[in-house]
Amino acid sequence: MGVKTSELAAVILAAGQGKRMKSRIPKVLHPVAGRPMIHHVLGLAKSVGASPIIVVVGHGAEAVREALKGEELYLVVQDPQLGTGHAVMQARKAIEDHEGDLLILCGDMPLILPETISGLVAHHKELGCAMTVLVGTVEDPTGYGRVLRTEEGRVLKIVEEGDASPGERSVREVNSGAYCARPGDLFQALEHLSCANSQGEYYLTDAVEILSPKGVSAYQCSFPEEILGVNDRVELARAEAVMQHRLRLKWMREGVSLVDPASVILGVDVTIGRDTVIEPRVTIQGRTEIGTECQIGMGCVIRDSIIEDGVVIRPYSVITEAHIEQGATVGPFCHLRPGSRVGAGARVGNFVEMKNTKLGRKSKAPHLSYLGDAEIGEEVNIGAGTITCNYDGREKHKTIIEDRVFVGSDTQFVAPVRVMEGAVVGAGSTITEDVPPGALAIARSRQVNIPGRGRKRKGEES
Ligand code: UD1
Ligand code: CA
């Protein structure tokens, strides 16, 4: 590779197994607010315009490679994984000729803010040190490397928890795991690392002591919670809580009402328009876009969907990869599966399931229906209990219902079938053949009334 540039390069460490997660999935792929941690960190490197970006992979390398597909970066493999210092060494070839500074980030620190990273980089440039460590002062330093300073306050070294004396452990200033360094000095220092420590690993943090005579500085995180490194599921939940808190504040400040903010779960890629009201216990995930002045009822779960302005979603609806046009109303208790499109001003009511189906403008399916692989026109009325029989056991077939059709209750459409404009389908019909425009279709057996075969009436002899 050998990319020659005087800009800022970045290395992201993502080769560790993350043993404490006890997971089949590599640690850096665990999501926070719906996005794998590695992508949060990659976002930081991009936010300061780092180029090239090198990601060190090892444990679960294939899965991590897959998750990073399409991103402009280089992957280098660390195998075996002998520690964070050893991991950075693997990137040496890729940036040998790099003249600018080197930003080092860990794949398990999803909460660092972009402004903190740009502050770190600026601080490093300004002071002209060999290395600058991003640090934070926390209530409980357990698990982090402690920053040790001289009496004058100069950074002397970082000591890992397992190697620290009781006195050193009481230090509350800790290493975040992000650094900015002069690559020449850093790689030289890394050559001198030893693995004679509690973990038997080559610690990147030992470079601090080696480079200390050349000048090592510390830059403080803006907020203590940024420091959080995710090593187990408890910390993953903590990171999620912090990220959710940030997202809720962000959207409320943008003009969205959250009735009970703490109970709403949002994905990082979700967008929500002004004057939309979100009721308690709503989850909105993936690439969902919600317009202005919508009402999202209690308990709804919405993923990867487009909800246009003025839509009302009544409580407990589940909506996935669907599109609801302006002013439509859906729910309560409706299930819109992938490929559902609800037209402007249309209405989908309770216990209605839609899949790969378009319901046209101002059409209504108010109660208890299954509409699958159907194309339904405008101003159509779908009666209660209507079912599209789209599957014959082998293949899926289409039901087409044109504009202004009226479908009576408890109707089945055995697809493929087409009901043309303005037709009426009598209640209880099983429609197996196309219905011409304007026709009335009734497909049920005629009623027979047999006298005297009912129950005896009061006063009648038996
Ligand atoms: C590390 C720091 C510690 C700091 C903390 C912040 C060291 C020795 N310690 O500890 O001072 O306070 O982060 O969260 O650096 N990795 C590799 N290859 C390896 C080992 C690790 O790529 O051989 C990657 C991991 O995937 C992870 C990152 O490096 O993304 C940090 O490793 P981890 O084992 O989590 O280090 P900590 O014990 O948290
Ligand atoms: Ca960690």
- Answer whether residue 3 shows pLDDT above 50: no
pLDDT digits (tens, 9 = 90+) for 351-390: 999 999 999 999 999 999 999 999 999 999 999 999 999 9
pLDDT at residue 234, as a whole number = 98
Tell me the best of 106, 135, 176, 205 to mutate to test the pocket of ligand 1, counting ligand atoms within 8 Å of each CB and taking the most: 106
Distance 108 CA to ligand 1 centre (A): 8
pLDDT at residue 96, as a whole number = 79
pLDDT at residue 460, as a whole number = 79
Which domain covers residue 269, as residue numbers?
233-441
Same domain? For 305 and 409 the reply is yes
Same domain? For 214 and 292 the reply is no
Provide the percentage of residues in the chain whose pLDDT is more than 70: 98
**Residue at 30 is within a domain:** yes
Same domain? For 268 and 327 the reply is yes
SS3 state at 170: coil
pLDDT band at 399 (very low <50, low <70, confident <90, very high): very high
pLDDT at residue 238, as a whole number = 98
**What is the Cα–Cα distance from 84 to 178, expressed in whole angstroms?**
11
The string of DSSP codes covering 334-390 is -EE-TT-EE-TT-EEEEEEEEES-EE-TT-EEEEEEEEESEEE-TT-EE-TT-EEE-
Element (DSSP H or E) covering residue 166: helix 166-169
Same domain? For 353 and 367 the reply is yes
> Cis omega before residue 183 (within 30°)?
no
Given a contact cutoff of 8 angstroms between Cβ atoms, the answer to whether 38 and 67 are in contact is: yes
**Owner of token pair 């800790």:** 174
Q: Single out the residue in 227, 244, 267 at which a domain terminates.
A: 227
Ligand number nearest CA of 84 is 1
Name which residue sits closest to atom 16 of ligand 1, judged by CA: 16
Q: How far is CA 96 from CA 1, 80, 92, 230, 259, in A?
A: 9, 22, 6, 30, 54
Is the sign of the CA dihedral 87, 92, 94, 99 positive or negative? positive
CATH of the domain at 216: 3.90.550.10
Q: Helices in 225-323 by DSSP H: which ranges?
A: 233-253
SS3 state at 63: helix
Given a contact cutoff of 8 angstroms between Cβ atoms, the answer to whether 113 and 226 are in contact is: yes
pLDDT band at 1 (very low <50, low <70, confident <90, very high): very low
**Residue at 450 is within a domain:** no
- Average pLDDT in the 98-110 region? 96
Same domain? For 222 and 237 the reply is no
**What is the Cα–Cα distance from 414 to 257, expressed in whole angstroms?**
44
Same domain? For 210 and 135 the reply is yes
Q: List Cβ neighbours of 417 (8 Å cut-off, separation of 6 or more).
A: 399, 400, 431, 432, 433, 434
Distance 213 CA to ligand 2 centre (A): 27
Q: Single out the residue in 204, 227, 250 at which a domain terminates.
A: 227
Ligand 2 ion: residues within 5 Å (CB):
108, 229, 231
Given a contact cutoff of 8 angstroms between Cβ atoms, the answer to whether 335 and 318 are in contact is: yes
Same domain? For 183 and 290 the reply is no
The string of DSSP codes covering 180-210 is EE-HHHHHHHHTT----STT-S--TTHHHHH
CATH of the domain at 410: 2.160.10.10
Distance 145 CA to ligand 1 centre (A): 10
Mean pLDDT for all residues in the chain: 96
Same domain? For 206 and 77 the reply is yes
Number of compact structural domains in the chain: 2
Residue 82 CA: which ligand 1 atom is closest? Answer: 23
Alpha carbon 247 to its chain centroid, in Å, reads 12
**Residue at 448 is within a domain:** no
pLDDT at residue 459, as a whole number = 83
pLDDT digits (tens, 9 = 90+) for 227-284: 999 999 999 999 999 999 999 999 999 999 999 999 999 999 999 999 999 999 999 9
Same domain? For 215 and 241 the reply is no
Q: Single out the residue in 194, 227, 260 at which a domain terminates.
A: 227
Tell me the best of 84, 109, 231 to mutate to test the pocket of ligand 1, counting ligand atoms within 8 Å of each CB and taking the most: 84
Ligand 1 proximal residues by C-beta, below 6 Å = 13-16, 28, 56, 58, 78, 81-84, 86-87, 106-109, 144-145, 158, 160, 174-177, 203-205, 229, 231
Provide the percentage of residues in the chain whose pLDDT is more than 90: 96
Distance 105 CA to ligand 1 centre (A): 10
**Residue at 162 is within a domain:** yes
pLDDT digits (tens, 9 = 90+) for 285-337: 999 999 999 999 999 999 999 999 999 999 999 999 999 999 999 999 999 99
Given a contact cutoff of 8 angstroms between Cβ atoms, the answer to whether 56 and 15 are in contact is: yes
- Answer whether residue 414 shows pLDDT above 80: yes
Name which residue sits closest to atom 29 of ligand 1, judged by CA: 13
pLDDT digits (tens, 9 = 90+) for 124-173: 999 999 999 999 999 999 999 999 999 999 999 999 999 999 999 999 99
pLDDT band at 458 (very low <50, low <70, confident <90, very high): confident
pLDDT at residue 449, as a whole number = 97
pLDDT at residue 5, as a whole number = 52
**What is the Cα–Cα distance from 270 to 378, expressed in whole angstroms?**
30
**Residue at 447 is within a domain:** no
Given a contact cutoff of 8 angstroms between Cβ atoms, the answer to whether 319 and 305 are in contact is: yes
Same domain? For 243 and 217 the reply is no
C-beta neighbour count of 86 within 10 angstroms: 21
- Answer whether residue 12 shows pLDDT above 50: yes
**What is the Cα–Cα distance from 279 to 263, expressed in whole angstroms?**
9
Same domain? For 81 and 193 the reply is yes
The letter for the amino acid at 355 is K
- Answer whether residue 462 shows pLDDT above 80: no
Q: Would you mind telling me the total number of residues written for the chain in this entry?
A: 462
pLDDT at residue 412, as a whole number = 98
Q: Which residues are catalytic?
A: 367
**Residue at 449 is within a domain:** no
pLDDT digits (tens, 9 = 90+) for 175-209: 999 999 999 999 999 999 999 999 999 999 999 99
C-beta neighbour count of 152 within 10 angstroms: 5
Same domain? For 327 and 205 the reply is no
**Residue at 451 is within a domain:** no
Both tokens of 41, joined, read 């960190």
